[in-house]
Amino acid sequence: MLNNKIQISVISSSKAKAIRDLHELIHLAEYCPKKVKMLLIKPNVCGMYPPDIKLLEKIVETFEPYAESIIIGETNSTMNSPEDRFRRLGITDLAKRHGVEARNLMKDSVVKKRVPQPHAMVEVPLPSTVLEADVLINVPGIGRHGTTLLTCAMKNLFGLIATSSKYASLHPLGVDRVIADVYQTAKPNLNVVDAGSQILVSTDTLGVDMVAAGIMRMDPLAVEHLVLASRDRGILLENLNINRIIL
């Protein structure tokens, strides 16, 4: 029965504080960094709302002591290639400064991950790096989207799908439904959202998108992929209790 109440913590601060004290925000979000071989950072590079390069660099600096290798990864969108966007956004230079890799994930081998509760796709083609990474950090911007209303943490995972024809092959299936399927196959360990003057940090992708919808003055119940994702977790979206901690 879809009636369980769940409490989710989302940390909110000014962008200046987040760039200065990101480790504090991560700690308050109850995420404890640990030593790992590979850490994958997925910023919204090829979409319309890339995160602040200073925030992205702070994330790299924060996790450098914990990861043997850090990859900043993205796949092609209909309009953009990761290599071009990496260069234009300053990510190529950031990667050189820190000795990390900016990788076009479309050059990976593809692994088809089965969707437990399919809405549009029985299997999601994912770059092998996504499955090999010990930690996935999701770094979206926040904005409005003509198809899904909200583009934020969960929508950013759409960019992990390893197909070069996303618009032609996936949009007819229903983008919200596809997003809900991808979310079942690729769960971020941490979400750091660039919400303009604010930064949101949470281990819960759905919870952080709920707060993002509020910031954008949207009814979360109108965002189909949020409703689907909550049902896939066995809860009603309206039963999520968001504990927003503002610093």
According to the model, what pLDDT value does residue 3 have? 59
Contacts 24+ apart (CB under 8 A), 15-21: 15/52, 15/55, 15/194, 15/196, 15/197, 15/198, 15/199, 17/199, 17/247, 18/55, 18/58, 18/192, 18/199, 18/201, 19/52, 19/54, 19/55, 19/58, 19/199
Mean pLDDT computed over 120-146: 95
pLDDT tens for 76-98 read 987 889 999 999 999 999 999 99
Model confidence at 2, pLDDT cuts 50, 70, 90, reads low
pLDDT at 69 over 90: yes
- CATH number assigned to the domain comprising residue 20: 3.40.50
Q: Is residue 59 part of a domain?
A: yes
67 within domain boundaries: yes
- The number of domains in the chain is 1
Query: Per the domain annotation, does 1 fall within a domain?
Result: no
* Residue 161 located in a structural domain: yes
pLDDT tens digits for 153-163? 999 999 999 98
Q: For residue 162, what are the domain limits?
A: 6-246
Query: Over the chain, what is the mean pLDDT?
Result: 93
pLDDT confidence bin for 169, thresholds 50/70/90:
confident
- Per-residue pLDDT, averaged over 34-45, amounts to 97
